[in-house]
Amino acid sequence: MTYSEKEIAIFEGVRKLALQGADLRALKADDIARAAGLGKGTLYNYFSSKEEIISHTVLYDLFRQMDEVLAAVEGAEGFLNKCRAALTRLGEGARQSMGPFQLLLLYGGVPDWKGMAQAFSSEMQARRAQVEELAWQLACLGAEEGLFPQPIDRTYVWRVFTSATMGFQQLDCAPCMQGCQPLDEAVEEVCRLLVKALS
């Protein structure tokens, strides 16, 4: 999914306001335009409502974060290093900025999430398939390295990676949990969990 420079400025404006503690439900188009460095009219050249802007911001941030994680994995060698790279990127992203799901929580949910999901269904399905394939390739790589047997069930592998990363994000990356455990220790625990679950 590609966005124009101005659309990205709008999304970054929303993220900036959220990081500053703004109540996203109370935001006005003027607030978003000012934070984005654009005129209010420009917002409506791209979006029909504040709710649509926030929905697109969540999707933009989700896809941006996925791209960063995929790039981190690609740049690492070996199963454990690839897992560490992905988890570290996820953890740093969540600890240093406002993640897509934190935006959702701040807003109290996206008003038309069902409509957004339908509008971007093919993109979301393609992204999910990409991440599922990555999980499978990682599991096969770990087996080649002798960390565990060759996997045979793609669904099981997907569930293992999904459960581990979701648990990691909830327990180790949530703003209220930061500082409870250093990120590198949490990453190592999740890597051990992955190896054990795939054994």
Q: How many CA atoms lie less than 13 Å away from 91 in the CB half-sphere? A: 24
Count of beta carbons in the 10 Å neighbourhood of residue 57: 29
Q: Measured on CA atoms in the order 189, 192, 198, 199, is the torsion positive or negative?
A: negative
Query: Which pLDDT does position 37 carry in this prediction?
Result: 94
Q: What angle do CA 82, 175, 34 make, to 5 degrees?
A: 100
The Cα–Cα gap between 146 and 187 comes to 21
Question: Please, which residues have CB within 8 angstroms of residue 119's CB and are 6 or more apart in sequence?
Answer: none
CA dihedral 67, 51, 29, 174 (to 10 degrees): -50
Q: Look-up: residue for tokens 């003027």?
A: 30
Domains identified in the chain and CATH numbers: 5-198 (1.10.357.10)
Give me the tens of pLDDT residue by residue for the chain, a chain 199 residues long.
688 999 999 999 988 888 787 877 788 889 999 999 998 889 999 998 888 888 888 888 888 888 889 999 999 999 999 999 999 998 887 766 555 555 555 555 555 556 666 666 777 788 889 999 999 999 999 999 999 999 999 999 999 999 998 888 777 666 555 566 788 998 999 999 999 999 9
| Beta carbons of 14 and 32 less than 8 angstroms apart | yes
Q: Measured on CA atoms in the order 103, 109, 110, 115, is the torsion positive or negative?
A: positive
The Cα–Cα gap between 22 and 14 comes to 9
